[in-house]
A and B are shown apart, each in its own frame.
Chain A
Amino acid sequence: KNQVEQSPQSLIILEGKNCTLQCNYTVSPFSNLRWYKQDTGRGPVSLTIMTFSENTKSNGRYTATLDADTKQSSLHITASQLSDSASYICVVSAPDSGGSNYKLTFGKGTLLTVNP
């Protein structure tokens, strides 16, 4: 069964500090991996999309890494800001058995709180 596991479940850090969120997946075959940011009461917003051949991708203060061999990804947030307080969701895409569509498997997310 395809699964995406995220850790930690929640994290509290002080403003200005860095943090790293983890994502382990068992999805196979693999098409791409995404990180989304979901603010409270809002829909998820895409941060990065990485394919099998990419092992790092940045979007401002967000840097995602991917190790397709160990099926692990991380999201590193640098110099955190209060606005970074949100849930961060890891999503893995895989082609379906028919090859005509893709299945997106969502993790449960890591709830990040940035305190002043």
Chain B
Amino acid sequence: EAGVAQSPRYKIIEKRQSVAFWCNPISGHATLYWYQQILGQGPKLLIQFQNNGVVDDSQLPKDRFSAERLKGVDSTLKIQPAKLEDSAVYLCASSPGLAGATYEQYFGPGTRLTVT
């Protein structure tokens, strides 16, 4: 089966610009996650969708970050305006159900964002 797809793989922008990332989860997976991973750290959850509803966005900086999951399939994550501290790898993951409940969680390759 095809894995989780993400694009772009790399992005370089200047601070105060906007950027969008796209994720296509594994077909049929109900749960979709966006993580931010700073170099040398573990992934930090930004937002979790169950189908097309938000389950957890408690750590999403809502003044600059937004995310949507249209029709319960693909998802986009947007940053506007970007700050230097947003430089990180943004990982998308999907799971057949709630990953915490022993379902496997499958990660995409990530998008490496550099803000200059």
Q: Is B105 an interface residue (CB 8 A)?
A: yes
Given A42-B109, A43-B91, is A101 in contact with B98 using a C-beta cutoff of 8 Å? yes
Q: Is B104 an interface residue (CB 8 A)?
A: yes
Interface 0/1 of A18-38, CB less than 8 Å to B: 000000000000011010000
Q: Is A76 an interface residue (CB 8 A)?
A: no
Chain B positions within 8 Å of A109 at CB level: 41-42
Range, interface on chain B: 20 to 34
Given A32-B102, A93-B99, is A108 in contact with B109 using a C-beta cutoff of 8 Å? no
Closest to A100 in B: B55
A-B contact count (CB 8 A): 63
* Cα distance A104–B45 in the bound complex, in angstroms: 8
Given A43-B4, A101-B56, A108-B41, is A51 in contact with B110 using a C-beta cutoff of 8 Å? no
User: In the complex, are the beta carbons of B42 and A107 less than 8 A apart?
Assistant: yes
B-side residues, CB < 8 A to A, are 4, 40-45, 48, 55-56, 91, 93, 98-102, 104-110, 112
A-side residues, CB < 8 A to B, are 4, 31-32, 34, 41-46, 49, 51, 89, 91, 93-96, 101-104, 106-109
